[in-house]
């Protein structure tokens, strides 16, 4: 049986005459008075106050130390040298000493930080090829146009990884030393892998499939970014599994920061051996810095941040890379 077509007109779209559609269902409307509302608000305010105090005390239990080294002490000479582009290839090292008055207990995280570096500029953020970073061979030799002018070198060789983000990677390195006494200097061991997000390391960043080829053969026919000193397949000479697009330092840098002042994870204290089993003991320390990253052009500042964490996280800061827990591989200070 064919249903009769509704007649046009102002009543054609009228809802059915039912209790649900005509809003005639039984309803209960509470009568709000001061005697019922005010106690509820007072109890809710007290709960929020106690929760806020608890969270504040939790965050204040973390320890943090910031060391600005852009022009500190012997780094001033390196700062001036990096201002001269013709001297960019020359190695420059400097040392910064500091005192830890109260021991850092538990896991200690080492960050590098930049101020006034705008990773959130749209043109900068677009200057990358995610297809290349995920390991597609077609993108390896034919980078995206978004990477221009960092897609090919002067000889027409494709750049891997391409783009302004990879080209500007932070390349200062640090060696931490604990001066237990005047005659006893102990290197501070750091875990330098496992510092990336799991999804970044295993999904978003992959090397091209090698088959029977070596990593060097896979990247044959490509060149490194202009500001790099070595190709992507030779970033970590101590660990062959940490080369190519899955290099931890590269992955951490490629996750752009939302604000111009940020810090990114560099390493985690290895607590396997004394005197670091309980954290960083109080005392005198020094950092030997291989000073490569120039900060003059963007009027920036560089820093090293040492901090502990709680279940609530680290002290408030603009962080671009999370921490998924280091795997147990100990390397000498990088």
Nearest to 235 by CA among 212, 219, 255: 219
Q: What is the pLDDT of residue 3?
A: 54
Cβ partners under 8 Å of residue 176, min gap 6? 110, 187, 188, 190, 285, 286, 287, 333
What is the pLDDT averaged over residues 305-313? 83
- What pLDDT is recorded for position 133? 95
* Bridging pattern class, strands 283-290 and 93-100: antiparallel
pTM score: 0.79
Q: What is the pLDDT of residues 271-294, one digit of tens each?
A: 999 899 999 999 999 999 999 999
Q: According to the model, what pLDDT value does residue 13 have?
A: 77
Tens digits of per-residue pLDDT, 96-138?
A: 999 999 999 999 999 999 999 999 999 999 999 999 999 999 9
As a whole number, the mean pLDDT across the chain is 87
Q: Give the dihedral of Cα atoms 320, 326, 330, 333; nearest 10 deg.
A: 20
In tens, the pLDDT along 46-56 reads 999 999 999 88
Q: Is the pLDDT of residue 86 over 70?
A: yes
Q: Are 104 and 306 in contact (CB under 8 A)?
A: yes
Q: Which residue has the tokens 């004394």?
A: 274
Burial class (CB in 10 A: 0-12, 13-18, 19+), 60: exposed
pLDDT at 326: 37
Q: Are 232 and 250 in contact (CB under 8 A)?
A: yes
% residues pLDDT > 70 (the chain) = 90
Say if CB 267 and CB 193 are below 8 A apart. Answer: no
């Amino acid at each position: 049986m064919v249903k009769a077509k509704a007649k046009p007109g102002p009543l054609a779209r009228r809802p059915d005459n039912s209790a649900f559609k005509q809003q005639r269902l039984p309803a209960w409307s509470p009568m709000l008075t001061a005697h019922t509302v005010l106690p509820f608000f007072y109890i809710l305010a007290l709960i929020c106050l106690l929760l806020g105090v608890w969270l504040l005390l939790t965050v204040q239990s973390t320890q943090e130390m910031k060391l600005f080294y852009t022009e500190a002490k012997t780094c001033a000479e390196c700062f001036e040298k990096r201002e001269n582009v013709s001297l960019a290839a020359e190695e420059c090292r400097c040392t910064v000493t500091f005192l830890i008055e109260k021991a850092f207990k538990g896991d200690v995280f080492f960050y590098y930080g930049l101020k006034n570096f705008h990773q959130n500029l749209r043109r900068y953020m677009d200057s990358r090829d995610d297809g290349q970073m995920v390991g597609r061979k077609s993108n390896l030799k034919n980078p995206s146009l978004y990477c221009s002018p960092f897609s090919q070198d002067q000889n027409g060789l494709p750049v891997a990884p391409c783009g302004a983000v990879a080209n500007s990677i932070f390349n200062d390195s640090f060696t931490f030393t604990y001066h237990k006494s005047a005659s006893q200097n102990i290197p501070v061991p750091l875990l330098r892998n496992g510092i990336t997000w799991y999804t970044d390391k295993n999904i978003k960043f992959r090397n091209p499939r090698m088959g029977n080829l070596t990593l060097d053969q896979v990247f044959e026919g490509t060149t490194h970014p202009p500001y790099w000193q070595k190709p992507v397949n030779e970033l970590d000479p101590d660990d062959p599994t940490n080369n190519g697009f899955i290099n931890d330092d590269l992955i951490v840098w490629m996750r752009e920061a939302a604000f111009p002042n940020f810090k990114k994870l560099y390493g985690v204290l290895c607590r396997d051996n004394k005197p670091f089993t309980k954290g960083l003991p109080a005392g005198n320390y020094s950092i030997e810095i291989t000073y490569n990253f120039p900060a003059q052009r963007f009027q920036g500042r560089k820093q090293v941040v040492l901090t502990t964490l709680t279940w609530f996280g680290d002290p408030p800061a603009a962080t671009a890379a999370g921490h998924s827990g280091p795997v147990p591989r100990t390397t000498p200070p990088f």
